Chain A
Amino acid sequence: MPRKTLEPRFSVEFLSVLDADGNLDTTLEPDIAPERLQELYRAMLLGRRLDERMVRLQRQGRIGTFAPIKGQEASQMGSVFALRPTDWMVPSFRETAAMVWRGWPIEKLLLFFSGYVEGGQPAPDQHDLPVTIPVATQLPHAVGLAYAAQYRGDDVVVMAFFGDGATSEGDFHEALNFAGVWHVPVVFVCQNNQWAISVPLKKQTHSRTLAQKALAYGLPGIQVDGNDVLAVYAASREAVARARGGDGPTLIECVTYRLAMHTTADDPTKYRSEEEVREWERKDPLTRFAEHLKKRNLLPEGLEAEVDAEITAAVQRFEAVGPADPLSVFGHVYAELPAHLAAQRDDLAAWLQAARDPGQAEPEPPSPPMRGQRRTTRWQS
């Protein structure tokens, strides 16, 4: 009856191709045509500029709360760039740049973040799920999509996105476990941006890396420099090829940083130091890639103006959308409208009609006083 040490043999690879100054390790460089490199850069730049515009729109009250991506452009674009349009993308709530790349019109995203459910509707031929808000719960969906694709014999890979905080949730573990057992074509992309709102990675997990969590489920896990778009792309391309070739799932951990607030409702100065942010700003994925392209004479002139014009046009289209029709909320609860919902819709329609007809309209009750506000009139009569 021995008591001995088993030594499961594993190690976790770390991959980096471009250093912080844009210098390239040519032995590791994934081969990408120059025009494709420029497309990649444009998508990252668009993500950055759109983010900045969205923060301004939010501050002006023109859109609602949203989660900025600043600093994570390389993780998002390097990974999603390895997909075909027929592959599936399963986002969390922070994949704006990747979603635009996948064909979501910018104005639709703006609508989504303005509280229009219509903004969650993918185009009929688009293989993307809408944004998921509850953390990690989208990961089993990705596994199910991959199972179904494999069941049908379709040549499809599914790529799912999530953060470091998500790796603490049960759904993350269930998804990786199912994916391993079923050996389905799915790529899990963790954007380890170091923070889950105010909770730093070291309070999220005692693991040395997040990539190593894959090993417990029998999948390969790899850690990459998430601010190095070429490294993210190289790892993603490999994982996608593995999935497509029938060799099962992969977990990729992109080590990156969220340079802005968690959402526009968050104040990161409460929980993290300016020095930390400045240190990561030096590793900005965008400037690093720009440096590299400049060295190769591939950085196009006037790209910023072009990208800004595209965003401005989308904002104009977004602002031209009229007010939301209150009755449309009943439209997509069930395939067919059940009687009780039809009755509720009629109630609302009648109420709206009465409100439009000043002859019949009830006087609007004064809103109840807010906390801290002095009560001036009583609601009566």
Chain B
Amino acid sequence: MAKLNMVKALNLALLQEMERDEDIVVIGEDVGVDGGVFRVTEDLHRKFGSKRVIDSPLAEAGIIGASVGMALYGLKPVCEIQFSGFAFQCFHQIENHAARYRLRSQGRFHCQMVIRMPYGGGVRALEHHTESEEQFYAHIPGLTIVVPSGPRNARALLVSAIRDPDPVVFFEAKALYHAAKEDVPDEIEALPLRQAQIVREGTDLTLVAYGAMVRVAREAADVLAGEDGAQCEVIDLLTISPLDRQTVVASVQKTGRAVIVHEAPRSFGPGAEIAASIVEGAFLSLEAPIRRVTAWDVSFVGFARERTHIPDAGRVVAAVRETLAY
């Protein structure tokens, strides 16, 4: 057991999985000698050589496209897109190909690959280094979209993502990379994909969040418990697509109220899908309209305005109070 931050925890997952399975290769810009700009692939190059830890040319479509080819041949590429803001250069490879080969070839081929990308704000970064774009990928059938919320689950989810037979887009919140350390067991640990976790039990309202917003939701729940005596149940989705509707719906059946928190822009975002699932599955239990606390529908705000763009506990608390008072 070691206390690790998210970067080190992810690095451990890669290291142990690569030791276990020779078919795993790591590819991306600066992932080799440099260990990735966030150091997630640190030292892998030294341990596994440049044939397995590939410093690729600066070309996102090339990285994902070539990885699709490798996956079709039976390798298991773990690709790093340096920042999710640059994944639009390979969005077509993800949507047109990685997500579709299983269907297109009627099961003859599939793309076992992980596409890791740092996403989200809160780290005072430039345009294209701040945005939360998971909603684009969540719309694509055939993909699994995973967003860990801390070091231990990040490690355990990355292990499962690497072993999953279908392509997984793995979003890592930059704000969480160095945010906190957690005990991470030495032996390999895997968490099931597509399964949400209840990270705080409650009876009065359901807070649904993922990634960096989980700690915001928990902070809000603590405030509400202390100041209002309201017990919020907090759900950490971990996978946003396919969505674990059951856990969310069962919770709202119990609490009767829901607030959804995400960092992506509101319109057509994951919150809409979650809200629709609640209405479909728990309509008669609802005591109040479902509220969404999200970033605004603005493509980039600059870091001087991030604090009012990304949801914080204060906004969540206010939305919960309104919902409870309805």
Which of A's residues lie within 8 Å of B, judged by CB? Answer: 117-118, 120-124, 129-130, 132, 134, 137, 139-149, 151-152, 170-171, 174-175, 177-178, 181, 331-335, 338-341
Q: Can you name 6 A-B residue pairings with CB atoms under 8 Å?
A: A120-B104, A145-B73, A170-B59, A331-B106, A335-B164, A341-B242
Note all chain A residues with C-beta closer than 8 A to B96: 134, 137
- Docked Cα-Cα span, A147 to B65, in Å, equals 12
Say whether A141 contacts B194, CB under 8 Å. no
Say whether B61 contacts A335, CB under 8 Å. no
Note all chain B residues with C-beta closer than 8 A to A134: 92, 96
Known: A130-B104, A134-B92, A140-B64. 8 other contacts (CB 8 A): A117-B103, A132-B97, A140-B68, A144-B67, A145-B69, A148-B69, A331-B107, A335-B110
Would you call B102 an interface residue if the criterion is a C-beta within 8 Å of the partner chain's C-beta atoms? yes
Would you call B74 an interface residue if the criterion is a C-beta within 8 Å of the partner chain's C-beta atoms? yes
Interface readout for B46-63 with A: 1 if CB under 8 Å, 0 if not? 000001000011010110
Note all chain A residues with C-beta closer than 8 A to B89: 170
Whole-angstrom distance from the CB of B86 to the nearest CB of chain A? 13
Note all chain B residues with C-beta closer than 8 A to A148: 69-70, 72-75
Say whether B245 contacts A339, CB under 8 Å. yes
Which of B's residues lie within 8 Å of A, judged by CB? Answer: 25, 51, 56-57, 59, 61-62, 64-75, 77, 89, 92-93, 96-97, 102-110, 141-142, 144, 164-166, 194, 242-243, 245-246
- Docked Cα-Cα span, A129 to B73, in Å, equals 10
- Docked Cα-Cα span, A120 to B164, in Å, equals 23
Say whether B108 contacts A338, CB under 8 Å. no
Say whether A129 contacts B109, CB under 8 Å. yes
Note all chain B residues with C-beta closer than 8 A to A145: 69-70, 72-73
Say whether A171 contacts B66, CB under 8 Å. no
* The one of A117, A144, A338 that contacts B69, using a Cβ cutoff of 8 Å: A144
Given contacts A145-B69, A333-B141, A338-B194, contact A117 B61 (CB under 8 A): no
* The one of B65, B166, B246 that contacts A174, using a Cβ cutoff of 8 Å: B65
Whole-angstrom distance from the CB of A188 to the nearest CB of chain B? 13
- Docked Cα-Cα span, A174 to B69, in Å, equals 14
* The one of B56, B72, B105, B141 that contacts A141, using a Cβ cutoff of 8 Å: B72
Note all chain B residues with C-beta closer than 8 A to A142: 69
Chain B, Cβ-Cβ closest to A150: B51
Say whether A144 contacts B245, CB under 8 Å. no
